[in-house]
Amino acid sequence: MAERVDAGERGSSPGDLRRPADGSPADIVTSRDNKWLKKFRAALRGTGPAAGEPIGVEGPKLIEDAVRSGLETEALLVSDSGERELERILRAAKESEAGIPRSRILRTTEKLFAGVAGTETPQGVAALFRQPAWGFEDVLRGAPMPDGALRGEPALVAVMAGVQDPGNAGTIVRSAEAFGATGVVAARGTADPWSPKALRASAGSALRLPLLRGVAIPVLLAQLKMARVKIYAASAKPGDAAPIGQTSADLREPAAIFIGSEGAGLPPEVLHAADAVISIPISPAVESLNAGVAASLVLYEASRQRRKE
């Protein structure tokens, strides 16, 4: 199915490879010290890629989503159990501009695949993708339509300011896409939305939605002010803020919604710069909401207000 990948391209010795028993033209990686396996292990078990490093994606559905989103594939790793998923991934690649180079389709054993996978029950297929180059303007205007046209909707940006749990970070990105946000910013000190756990929690949204990582909060606040985007701080203390849905929280205009850490909430500089502080009415018996749940509710309210226009 795939063209032969020679040892020189992988930076590996010939002893790392053997021919498949069925005589197909693809080589099988047989050494855990293979250069590509090391890359997959780091990407699939890490806390997110540094600048220039690939995004590690595991599982056929997420890989197919990434390919359809136009991300450029660095390598695709397949074990015997993942062969049945390969055809649909390659079909999706044919329909995308980037595609998947046949020379970067690598095969390995079930044991070695399990050694690089980041899940307890590996699905036999994983991929490395180049990071998309999103900028601040992309976060404000959203991803282009399939035909390349701009969406033309008011900016709606979900900003995570210190959200620590990767599952919460992924949930927020997923809700952001579901409720029509134009982009997401993971400020410095926030769990990486491109980490394996966050990617799974986002169900692929982090591969499609314009996203910025590691931005310093003072820089972001200045950029939003210059772009005339209203800053809304979501507070965990209902008594100190206006409940969402009131006129003080008009989320139909260009807006950035800041969600703070699960424990400490938002930094003082965000609260000071905010155009309004908003909250979600909850029972007095409950101290606060999970960050992912709180962000989802506020993003839903923004979507509700905008649909009523």
How far, CA to CA in Å, does 154 sit from each of 149, 243, 255? 15, 22, 8
Which pLDDT score, from 0 to 100, does residue 238 have?
54
Q: Return the CATH superfamily for domain 7-129.
A: Ribosomal protein L30/S12 (3.30.1330.30)
pLDDT in tens, 188-230: 999 999 999 999 999 999 999 999 999 999 999 999 999 999 9
**Distance, CA of 49 to CA of 294 (rounded, Å):** 27
Q: Are 181 and 306 in contact (CB under 8 A)?
A: no
Q: How far apart are CA 309 and CA 306, in angstroms?
A: 5
Cα–Cα distance, 136 to 83 (Å, whole number): 39
Query: For the whole model, what pTM was predicted?
Result: 0.86
Per CATH, domain 136-307 is 1.10.10.60: no
Q: Kindly list the domain boundaries of the chain, sorted by start residue.
A: 7-129, 136-307
Confidence class of residue 4 from pLDDT cuts 50, 70 and 90? Answer: very low
Give per-residue pLDDT as tens, 94-104. Answer: 887 777 888 88
DSSP conformational letter for 220: H
Residue 291 half-sphere exposure, CB side, CA atoms within 13 Å?
29
Give CA angle at 85 (45, 11), nearest 5°.
50
Whether the pLDDT of residue 9 is over 50: the answer is no
Nearest to 80 by CA among 108, 39, 106: 108
Tokens 């992309």 belong to residue: 138
pLDDT at 285: 86
